[in-house]
Amino acid sequence: MNENSVTFIGLDTSKLKISVAVADGERNGEVRFFGDISSEPPSVASMVNKLSKRGTKLHFCYEAGPTGYGLYRQIIELGHDCVVVAPSLVPKRAGDRVKTNRRDAVSLARLHRAGELTAVWEAIRDLVRAREAANSALKQALTPKKCAS
C-alpha cells in the first residue's frame, strides 16, 4: 500500500479487552474483524505497530465510556489520529438489536470511514455554544428596556 492510503480502525472497548475492526480507505473497501486484544497499553501498542507496518495512515475511533481517554492519549502519542465518539450519536439501523463486541467494532470502523460519527469534543462544543446562546437570550429577556420619552 502507498503512504497516501488511509485505514480506519474501530475499537469496541471494555475494561479487560478491546475488539478491533479494520476498514480499508476505499469507499467500498473491505471491512474486517482484526481480533480481540488485552486493554493493557503494551497490547495496544503492539496492535498499533502491526497495523502501521502496512504503510497507511491510521484513523482510530471508539465510543466514550468508562474506559476514559487513556486509550486516546496513547494512540495520539504513537502518532496516529484518534476520535472518541459520543455513543448516543452513533447511527443505529432499525431492528439492529443484537450487540456483540465484534459487530460494534466493525460498525464503528465502517461509520468512521463514511464520516458518520460525531466526536465527543464536537458534541461538547455544540452543547457549550447552545448554553451560551440560551444564557445570552435569558439576559436580554430579563434586562429592563429603556422607554423613549
DSSP state for residue 59 in the 8-state scheme: E
| Mean pLDDT score across all residues of the chain | 87
Residues 46, 58 contacting (CB under 8 angstroms): no
Amino acid at 20: V
| DSSP H or E segment with residue 103 | helix 101-114
* Average pLDDT rounded to a whole number, residues 16-38: 92
Strand-strand pairing, 6-13 and 17-24: antiparallel
pLDDT at 60: 96
pLDDT tens digit sequence for 87-107 = 888 888 777 777 799 999 999
Whole-number pLDDT of residue 87:
86
pLDDT tens, 111-129?
Answer: 999 999 988 875 666 677 7
* Burial class of residue 63, CB neighbours in 10 A (0-12, 13-18, 19+): buried
Domains delineated in the chain: 6-140 (3.30.420)
Residues 54-80 have pLDDT tens digits of 788 999 999 988 777 889 999 999 999
pLDDT at 149: 56
The predicted pLDDT at position 54 comes to 76
Cα dist from 59 to 26, 56, 86, 108, 123, whole Å: 13, 10, 16, 11, 19
First-to-last C-alpha distance (Å) of the chain: 76
What is residue 125's predicted lDDT score, i.e. its pLDDT? 62
* DSSP type of residue 124: H
The model's pTM: 0.76
Tell me, what's the pLDDT at 147?
67
